[in-house]
Structure 1
Amino acid sequence: MAITLPPTLTQQAPHGPPAQNRLTESRGAGRVARAVTAAALAVWFVLPLVPLALWVFADRWSYPAPLPQEWGTGNTESAVAQGAVPAFVRSLGLGLLVSAVATPLGVMAARSLAFHRTRWSPLISGLLFAPLALPAFVAVFGLNVVLIRLQVPSYAAVILVLTAYALPYTAYVMRLAYGGHDIGFEEEARTLGAGPVQVFLRVHLPLIAPALARAAFLAFLVGWSDYLVTLLIGGGSLVTVPLLVASAASGTGNDGVVAVLSVVALAPPLALLLLLGLKGRRRGGSS
C-alpha cells in the first residue's frame, strides 16, 4: 500500500543560512552596535576634557594659536599657592563624612520601608525625599538661622545639612535594592544556627554590597561637589575645591588655574566611578 505524504513534508526546504547562523550574525551586529555606541559616548565625554588638560600645562595660550605657545607648571603652582591642597583635603573629608553618615541611615530607612510597612510609610517616604523638593537656597537660609542660634559648629552644621540632602539618594538606591532582596536567605541562615552578626556580615552585606557602593558614591558626590551649603552654612571659613573653582572662575585671566582646580575636582569622583565599574565587571565575570 502506497503512503502519500502531505505536500508540506515533500516540499524542499528553502535555501538560506540556518537559523543558528542568523542568530549569530544578529548577536555580532549587536556587539558592533554596542561597541560603536560606547566609543561615541566616550568621545562625547572625553573630548571636552582635552582643552582642560591642555590648559593645565599651558603657561601661555593666546588666540588664534591651536596649541599653547608655552608649556610649564605655572598654573599648578598658582593653584597650590591659592590653597588647592588644603581645600582638597577639606572636600575629601567632607565627602567621606557625609557618605559615612548618610549611607547607613539610607540603608536603615530603606530596609524599614521595604520590610516593615505601616500606615505611616507614605508620610515617612515623603519626609525622606522632601529635601529634593525644597529650593536649596531657601532651605539653607532657614536652616542657617536655626543652626547659628543652636551654636552648632560650622563644620558639623555643613555635614548635618549635606547629610540631609544626601539621604534621599541613599534611601532611594537602597529601596530599589531591597525591592528585589530575598529575605529568605537570612531566615535560612538563622535556621542553620547563624547569629545576627553572622547573618549581617556573611549573608546580608554581600547581597546588598553593589547597591551599598552606589549609595555611598552618590552621598560622596553630594559632600564633595557642594557649593551653596558649604558657602552659606560654613560662612566662608570652610574653603573647599568647589569654592576655589568658583572664586577663580569669577576673575579674568585665570583660565589655567581654573583648569587645574577643575581637574582636581574631577579626579576623586572619576576614580571612584572607574573603581565601581571595575568591581562590577569582576563580579559579573565571576558569577
Structure 2
Amino acid sequence: MKAVLQCACLLIGGALSVSTAEASLVSHSYIGTITEVRGPQAAEAPVGATIHLSYTVDAATDDEHPLPDQGIFVRAMQSLRVELPGHEPTLLVSGGTVQTFDNVVLSGVTLIDQVLMFGGRINESSEFGGLPIFDWQLIFEEVTSLDVTPTMLAGDVFPTEPIAAPQVYLELQTTPGLVTTLTLQLEPAEPTTVAEVVTDAKLRIDALVEQGRLGAGVARSIIARLDVVLQAATTRRNGVCGPLAGLRNQVHNLPRRHAEVAVADELAALVTVLTEAVGTCRNE
C-alpha cells in the first residue's frame, strides 16, 4: 500500500528557508526489480525488469520541520540517477528535497515510516517513453499496525545508511495527467563508478551543445578535464585531487562568461556525483 504523506515545506518570508551546515555527502546505490506498474506508460517499465538507482545527499542539511517525528531537508539531495532498461539514464535530478516521517499514525489505524524524495532540477535529458519527465517522487516506506513499531527509520533525520524499505515506489510524470507508478524491490548495490558518471556527464554536455546552451570550445575543455579525472581515478598513477578541483572550479566559473546559471547548476550536480564516486582524493 502506498501512502504518500502530505509535504510540509516551510515558507519563511515567502521563500523556502535553507540552512546548510558544512557539506557531508552520503551516496548510496541500489539495484532491484520492478514488481508492479500502474499508469498510462506502464509498457515502458515491464514487470520483472531491472532498475538501477543511486543518490547523493548532504546529510548536514538542517531539518526545517518543527515536529519531532517529521523532517524536511530542502535541497538536501545533491543528485539522483535512475536507469531502466532502454533508458540511459531515465532520470537525473539535482537539488531535490527529502522529507521523513518516523512512526506517524496514518488514518488512525496504521503506523508509517517514510522517506520521500521529490522536486529539484530535472535534467532535460530525462525521458520516459520518449516524453520529458517534469515531475517525480521516490518513496521508501514501511507500514505496520498500531501495535507494531516500524523499524525503517530511527528518528526523523535522513538515514545515512542504505534504506531497508519493505515498500519502494517511483512515480514519473511526463505530461499533465500521465503519471506512471513503479513498485520496486531494491537492495544495496555497488556504488556508481567514475566511468558511469563521466559517461553521463559527456552525454549531457553533448546535448547542451546541440541545444546551443553551451559553446563547443567550453564543452571540449570540460570533457578533456573529465577524461583526465577518469584516467587518474582508473590508473592511480596520478593524483586525482588536482584534476577534480580544476574541473570543479571551471564549472563554478561558467556563469560569468560562458553559460547560463541553469547549465552551470546541472554540471555542478554532475561534478558532485563524480566527487563522491571518486571517494577520497588520491595523491600517489
* Structures share fold, TM-score greater than 0.5: no
What range describes the TM-score normalised by the shorter chain of this pair? under 0.3
Between Structure 1 and Structure 2, the one with more strand by share is 2
Between Structure 1 and Structure 2, the one with more helix by share is 1
Structure having greater relative contact order (Cα 8 Å, sep ≥ 6)? 1
TM-score, normalised by the number of residues in structure 1: 0.24
